[in-house]
Amino acid sequence: MKLNKDVTICFRTSAKLQAGLKAAAEREQLNVSGLINSLLTDFLNAKTGSDKRRHNRKDASIPVIINGETTTGTVLLTGTIQDVSLGGVRIAIPKHEQATLVINAQASNFEIVFRLPDGSTRPVSMTCKPSRVSKVGEDLHIGAAFQDGDLQSYFEIQSFLM
């Protein structure tokens, strides 16, 4: 997505905040201007509800098992679901699990299995299609849309989101 940046905004801040912005931008592999633009866009989307997602997200920290494709076949990996909605999940995969994983926005579907932290004893099993892949620090973040799952898994997720 190309942004039309035709306006300059200048503001004063403390040296401590500037250093923090520089460090955060470096971690995100952006320049400071790009980081501030991203932060402001996220803030405005949250305030105006102009997020493009069809379903509300719920932040989470849920361990997940991923059955993914590698260059030599399939592999089971672990990760953490960062947020969940009726439409999909965002999964963080730590660096030590990424070595053999082949996932990009054009990759084939993969399976995930997890238990929701609401006391449910039934595991949720869903087939996902990756829609967004990015590096955040040393983690690989995968935004994935649900493609298939049994009806009970959808009910479990819906109950968790309420």
Dump pLDDT digits (tens) for 110-137: 899 999 887 777 899 999 888 888 888 8
**pLDDT of 49 above 80:** no
Q: Do 26 and 76 reside in the same domain of the chain?
A: no
Q: Is residue 99 part of a domain?
A: yes
**pLDDT of 102 above 60:** no
State the amino acid at position 42 in one-letter form. Answer: D
Q: Do 25 and 80 reside in the same domain of the chain?
A: no
Q: Do 74 and 143 reside in the same domain of the chain?
A: yes
Q: Do 97 and 150 reside in the same domain of the chain?
A: yes
Q: Do 138 and 107 reside in the same domain of the chain?
A: yes
Q: How confident is the model at residue 75 (pLDDT cuts 50, 70, 90)?
A: confident
Tokens of 33: 């201007």
Give bridge partners of residue 141 from the DSSP assignment. Answer: 92, 134
CATH of the domain at 124: 2.40.10.220
Q: Do 88 and 43 reside in the same domain of the chain?
A: no
Q: Do 137 and 85 reside in the same domain of the chain?
A: yes
Q: How confident is the model at residue 57 (pLDDT cuts 50, 70, 90)?
A: confident
3-state helix, strand, coil in the chain (%, to 5): 30, 35, 35
The number of domains in the chain is 2
Distance CA 38, CA 104 (A): 22
Q: How confident is the model at residue 64 (pLDDT cuts 50, 70, 90)?
A: very high
Q: Greatest CA span in the chain, whole angstroms?
A: 54
Q: How confident is the model at residue 1 (pLDDT cuts 50, 70, 90)?
A: very low
Q: Do 144 and 80 reside in the same domain of the chain?
A: yes
Q: Do 138 and 92 reside in the same domain of the chain?
A: yes
Percent of the chain topping pLDDT 70: 81
Q: Is residue 6 part of a domain?
A: no
CA-based torsion, 52, 55, 57, 61: positive or negative: negative
Distance CA 122, CA 109 (A): 23
Domain that holds residue 88: 58-161
Q: Do 25 and 64 reside in the same domain of the chain?
A: no
Q: Do 149 and 92 reside in the same domain of the chain?
A: yes
**Long-range contacts at 48-57 (CB < 8 A, ≥ 24 apart):** 53/85, 53/87, 54/87, 55/85, 55/86, 55/87, 56/85, 56/161, 57/83, 57/84, 57/85, 57/90
Q: What's this model's pTM, rounded to 2 decimal places? A: 0.61
Q: Do 76 and 115 reside in the same domain of the chain?
A: yes
